Amino acid sequence: MKKRANERKPLVNHIFTADPSAHVFDGKIYIYPSHDVAHDCPDDDDGDQYIMEDYHVLSMDNLDSICVDNGLALHQDDIPWVKNQMWAPDAVEVNGKYYLVFPAKDHDGIFRIGVAVADTPVGPFQPQADYIQGSYSIDPCVLKDQDGKIYCYYGGLWGGQLEMWQSGKFDPDARRPEGDDPAIGPMVAEFAETMDKFVTEPKHIQILDENGEPLKAGDEDRRYFEDPWTYKYNGKYYFSYSTGTTHYICYAEGDNPYGPFTYKGRIMEPVLGWTTHHSVVCIDGEWYLFYHDCELSGGITHERCVKYTKLNISEDGTIETIHPYEEE
C-alpha cells in the first residue's frame, strides 16, 4: 500500500510534541500530545528534563490534511494542585463532554492524575479542583468500553514513580525490582461516569509470558515500563506499552479489561530518542499507530515530534512489526 504524504513525518514543526493519544470524535481526528519545552537541562533517569507545563490539542480533518494546532488547551497555572511536569495525557468523550485526563506532580512532588472538562474536543479545558483520589504515577490511558464502563490505565517506572508505591504508600527510596523479581505491572481502575473519581480500587495488571508465567523484571525486552494503551479488536482486549530501557513498543492480549494479558510481540522497533510512546486508533476502518521521535530536533531527547504510520493487524489480532525508518 502506498504511503500517505504525511505518514512518518512530523505532524507539526512549530512546537515540540510527544506522547500522542489519538482519537476520532465526530469523524475528525484529534491528537492529545504533551508539549516539550526546549531548554539546556541535562538528562537524568528521573525525567527532570521533561518540564512540560501545558497542553495543545492537534486536529486533522483526515490523514492527508494539514495538522492544526488549536492553541493552548490547559496550563499548569490554572490547576490548583499542580506544581509542574504535565506529562502524557489522554482524552475521552462521555455524555457529550470531553475530558482531558493527565498526570502532573503535586506540590509534594508526587505524580497524580487529574481531569479537566470541555464542551469541545479542543477545549479550553476546565480542571477539576483536585486530583483523582487514590491515583498516582503517569501516562493515563482511558478506554470507554462498549458497555459504557470507563477504565483508566496508568503507570510508569523510574521518574514515573510507579515502583515507589509497592508498600501502598509513597516511598521515594523503594527498591526497584530486578532480575527474577516479578515485573511491576501498570495500574487499572474504573472511572465514575462523572469522571471525578475511581469507583474501583486501582489494581496491578499482570502481563504473562507464553507459559502463563508473569514476566520478570529483568526481561527488559518484554516487561512493562510505561506508556499503556488499550483497545478492542474482534472482542479481545489488546494492551500495548513501552519497554522503556530497550525502546520497544510491545503488545499483549486478554479477555478482560483488568487482564491478565499474554505477551504477543512487538509493534514497533526503537525510534530516534530515548523514549518511545504511542497510541492505536481505527480511522475509516483501518488501524494506525501514532508515536513520537526526535527527528525534528536531531536527537535531543526532550524535544520530540508526533508522527503516525499504518498499522497492519491480521484477523487473529497479530500485528506486523513496524521498522520506523525503513521505506515501505
Catalytic residues: 19, 226
Residue/partner pairs of 107-113 with CB below 8 Å, 24 or more apart: 107/81, 107/83, 109/83, 110/136, 110/161, 110/170, 111/85, 111/87, 111/136, 111/137, 111/138, 111/160, 111/161, 112/81, 112/136, 113/137, 113/140, 113/152, 113/154
Secondary structure of 56-96 in the HEC alphabet?
EEEEECCCCCCCEEEEEEEEHHHCCCEEECCCCCEEEEECC
Residue 316 grid cell: 487473529
Q: How far is CA 3 from CA 98, 261, 328, in A?
A: 32, 32, 7
Q: Is residue 113 classed exposed, middle or buried when 0-12, 13-18 and 19+ CB atoms within 10 A define those classes?
A: buried
If you compute the radius of gyration of the chain from its CA atoms, what whole number of angstroms results?
18
Q: Is residue 133 classed exposed, middle or buried when 0-12, 13-18 and 19+ CB atoms within 10 A define those classes?
A: exposed
Exposure string of 41-62, with b = 16+ CB inside 10 Å and e = fewer, is eeeeeebebbebbebbbbbbee
